[in-house]
Amino acid sequence: MLILSAINCLLACTAAASQPPNIVLIVADDLGYNELGCYGQKWIKTPTLDRMAAEG
């Protein structure tokens, strides 16, 4: 987390002030990649995360 925070600070210093960055950090305690619908999971429904994955 410390490294990510440092990188974010460096990027914020060099980014244009007119357009803020779009950064989403999702922290889940017990979530594997194969438990999301965008990776083929059929039983667990994750529509919001699937939509975010589809939109990039």
Alpha-carbon separation of residue 50 from 23, 29, 31, 43 (angstroms): 17, 18, 14, 14
Neighbours of 45 (CB within 10 A): 10
Structural domain boundaries, residue 29: 2-55
pLDDT, tens only, 2-47: 788 888 887 777 655 677 878 888 888 888 888 889 999 999 898 9
Phi, psi (rounded to 5 degrees) for 45 = -95, 125
How many domains are there within the chain? 1
pTM to 2 decimals? 0.52
Q: What tokens appear for 12 in the block?
A: 């914020």
